[in-house]
Each structure stands twice: as structure tokens, then as C-alpha cells.
Homo-oligomer: A and B are copies of this chain.
Amino acid sequence: MRSKIILFGDSITEESFDNGGWGACLSHHFARTVDVVVRGYSGYNTRWILHVMDKVFPVDQTGAPLAITIFFGANDACLLERYGGFQHVPIDEYKQNLMSIITLLKKRWPTTVVLLITPPPIDEEGRLLNPYKDNPSGLPERTNEAAGAYANECIAVAAECGVSVVDLWSRMQQFPNWKISFLRDGLHLTANGNKIVFEEVVEKLKKEGLSLETLPVDLPLFSDIDPHDPLKAFRNGE
């Protein structure tokens, strides 16, 4: 049975198979080697998701996934006193929750590569230009500073748990035009933003030994099939 990479997270994961999304790009990249499946839950924070871990990863799921990306924090980092406050999770709890998620997954599947992704940076003006329909406050529900604090906790968790992390918050801000280039509404990703996530995930997985160079191809590639005796490729494999 083919190995899986599971993409686990919030809306930025749920919509990762939309046009040019980082999930679709991963699926295309690994088309002949691994199944890439999405477990993305728009609006969810780490507190909510801990209530449903057994539904996301049911006990009848067979075989350890090759890798799981964990991409939460953008909702946890909503400010408590603003619209979106009901999604807020205090930063200490966020840290504990992330550790609980990793512990649960690692206990069940010790060999699975776990890859954390920090929340992206926030363009507060972008949020104000694309507010939630029912947010009349005129204040963004998220700030870049808060997202950065949660990103730092995410990095700390990765270090404590000994797993890899993509520091998306910092990586994106290395580009001068990050607000426009990477974020379509101050939070969710543009095509360029998706490309960054895809590239960073591929690089981290490669460092963990999961790459096109190391993973076996499922069946003979067309380029390896002899035009003068095509069936030879399949007889060898039988």
C-alpha cells in the first residue's frame, strides 16, 4: 500500500489544493511515489482540534504515514479582545497543545516524520481591506506581532520535541514585497505564497530523507521502457 503524507492544519491547509496550492504542488511532485492527503479545518485552532484527533486520525487507519505537516497557529493567534476572539488560544496553551498533538502522533507512529509550519506573517492593512463580513470594528482581528510570538513558540516546540519546522513567519518577511506577493487578504496565501510553502516543505522533507531521490517510483517510468520490447519492463517486475 502506498505511503502517505498528511497535511494537517487550518484553512491554509484546507485550501492547499486550490489553484496552485502548496498541497496540490506536493501531490504533483510526489505523483509517482506518495499519496498526499489533506486534513485541513478552516477556522480551527489547536484547542478545538485536540477534541477531534481520533476523528482526524481514526484507529482503523492502517500504516504509519511517511510524514505529517502540522500547520496551526494563525487562528490561535487571533487577539482575544477583537473579532475572532472566540478562536483565540492563549500562547502557553498553544504551545502545550502543539506538544500534545506531536506526542499523540509520535506515540502512534514513531517513524513518521513530523514537520511543523509556523503561522504566516500577517498584513494588518490587508486584513482591514478584506475584513470578515460581520466584523464592524474597523480593527484587524490578527496582528503580525502576535503571529510572530506564536511562530516563536512553534519553533520552540519543534526544538523541544526534536522535529523539523518551517519558519514561515520569518521566511516570508525576508522578501521586501511579502505583504502583496504572498498574502491575498493579509492572511491566506497567493500563488507565490503557496510556492514558498511548497519549496520549504520539500526542502525540509528532503533533509529528513524523503525526496524523489530516495523514495522508490511505483512502476517503470516511460523513459525506462524499451520501445523495442515494452513488456520487458513489466516482466522484470513480476
Contact = CB atoms under 8 A, between A and B. Distances in A.
Interface of A: 1-2, 11, 14-15, 17-21, 23-25, 27-28, 31-32, 35, 37-38, 40-44, 47-48, 51-52, 55-56, 58, 60-62, 86-87, 218-219, 221-222, 225, 227-228, 230-231, 233-235, 237-238
B21 A28 contact: yes
A28 B15 contact: yes
A48 B51 CA distance: 47
Given A1-B61, A20-B20, A225 B31 contact: no
Contacts of A18: 24, 28
Given A61-B1, A62-B62, A52 B15 contact: no
Nearest to A75: B222
Contacts of A32: 14, 41
A227 B86 CA distance: 6
Nearest to A233: B48
14 contacts: A21-B24, A23-B27, A24-B27, A24-B28, A27-B27, A27-B38, A35-B35, A35-B37, A44-B222, A48-B231, A52-B219, A55-B218, A56-B218, A62-B62
